[in-house]
Amino acid sequence: MTKTLALVLFFLAMAGSVQAQQGHPLTGTWLGDWGEDGDDRNFLTLILQWDGSTVSGLANPGPESAELQRIHLDSADWSVTFEADLVDRNGNTVHISARGTLHSIGSMTRTLNGTWTSGSGSGSGSGDFTLTRQSGA
C-alpha cells in the first residue's frame, strides 16, 4: 500500500510539473498598450510563436494586423527587441522599433515593458509600452 501511495504521489507531482511547462518565454498572447504618454495610449495585442529556431508574431490580429519584424530575445538580460508597422488610434500607420525587458519570467502572466521610437525628424515619436502575457496562452 505504501509503494502504491508513493507511486500515485509521484505521478501526481510529475503531472503538476508537466502542466507548469510553458515553452519559449515569448510564446503566447500578450495584451497591453503603447503611447507617448499616459493619456495618449493605443491598444496592443501581440501573438508570438516560437517554431524551434525563430520567434514570429502578429500585432493586433484583424483588419489592421501587422506582422512583427526582427523579433529577438536576449536571454542574458531578458531583453526583447522588435519592429512593426502599427496603426494608431487615428488610423495612421506608424513604423516602430521597440526594446523591452521581460519580468517575472516564471510567471504565467509575465510582463514585457519598455520603450519604442518611430520615424525621424518632425514625424518622429517615442514613448513606452506595457504588455502582459495572458495566462491561458
Average pLDDT over residues 49-66: 91
Q: Do the domain assignments include residue 72? A: yes
Q: Do the domain assignments include residue 6? A: no
CATH of the domain at 107: 2.40.128
Q: Do the domain assignments include residue 100? A: yes
| Of 65, 47, 72, the residue nearest 131 (C-alpha) | 47
Which residues constitute the domain of residue 65?
24-133
Residue 126 has, within 13 A of its CA and on its CB side, a CA count of: 6
Q: Do the domain assignments include residue 112? A: yes
CB-CB contact of 27 with 48 (8 Å): yes
Average pLDDT over residues 55-59: 94
Where does residue 76 fall: left (phi above 0), alpha (psi -120 to 50 degrees), or beta otherwise?
alpha
pTM of the model: 0.77
Q: Do the domain assignments include residue 14? A: no
Q: Do the domain assignments include residue 4? A: no
Tally the domains of the chain: 1
Q: How confident is the model at residue 87 (pLDDT cuts 50, 70, 90)?
A: confident
- Residues 10-46 have pLDDT tens digits of 445 544 433 444 578 999 999 999 889 888 888 999 9
Q: Do the domain assignments include residue 91? A: yes
